[in-house]
Amino acid sequence: MALQINPSILSADFSRLADEAKAVEGADWLHVDVMDNHFVPNLTLGVPVVESLGKATETPLDCHLMIDDPDRWAPQYIEAGAGSVTFHVEAAAAPVRLAREIRAKGARASMALKPATPIEPYEDLLPELDMLLVMTVEPGFGGQAFLDIMLPKIRRTRQLIDKHGLQMWLQVDGGVSAATIERCAEAGADVFVAGSAVYGADDPAKAVQALRQLAEKATGTPGT
């Protein structure tokens, strides 16, 4: 199992996005939170900014669409340079068709679950996905406290992935920090989004390394 740390640009200084992206080169992916002020009560950035970010960094872009109508918008984020696109199952009209379209366009297909959305109804969809994102805060804002009531869902999702013999990744996002990453890793997550824990640190690149070491220690697994 590869362990990956994905800094979330949501916690960066938006007036210096290119520099902030460069500050975490060495991370596995740059997590880009797209919010539309409808699906979540916050507004961040859209396709043109993703396109510019892609030109500013060598780190591949992991775009998390917290938006209504991802069926319509996801292809545009791939064309803008996203290497992985996550849509919310609560917002997608046709999640299977959307996952297939994302893969057909050459990106990794990922589906997210808000905290109150269970994994079990979506077991049969797992083979259509390259990653499943279990939100560990209510989506919309960085800097929230980790919801440890999500740990059983992370465990159950890992069991389903293993039961089906899938190689897909299991991502967690929200409140992931030095204080919580080991519990997430022990529960079976292998991709960790961290916003304030990385960009709130004096040295974001060192914070990425420190988080990676903690996740590796918790699982006894070297990362990528």
Question: What does the alpha-carbon distance between residue 33 and residue 168 come to, in Å, rounded to a whole number?
Answer: 21
Q: Which of 23, 6, 80 is nearest to 57 (CA)?
A: 23
193 near ligand 5RP (CB under 6 A): yes
Residue with the shortest CB distance to ligand 5RP: 195
Which residues lie below 8 Å from residue 104, measured CB to CB, with a gap of 6+? Answer: none
Our answer to whether residue 33 is catalytic in this structure is: yes
Our answer to whether residue 68 is catalytic in this structure is: no
Candidate residues 70, 139, 188, 223; the one interacting with ligand 5RP per rule CB under 6 A: 139
Which residue in the block uniquely carries the two structure tokens 């900014």?
A: 49
CB 67 within 8 A of CB 35: yes
223 near ligand 5RP (CB under 6 A): no
Candidate residues 143, 152, 206, 221; the one interacting with ligand 5RP per rule CB under 6 A: 143
Buried b (16+ CB within 10 A) or exposed e, 133-142: bbbbbebbbb
The count of C-alpha atoms lying within 13 angstroms of the C-alpha of 99, restricted to the half-sphere facing its C-beta, is 18
Site string for ligand 5RP, 34-63 (x = CB under 6 A): ------------------------------
Q: Which residues bind ligand 5RP (CB under 6 A)?
A: 8, 10-11, 31, 33, 64, 137, 139-144, 173-176, 193-197
The set of catalytic residues is 33, 173
Residues at the binding site for a divalent metal cation are 31, 33, 64, 173
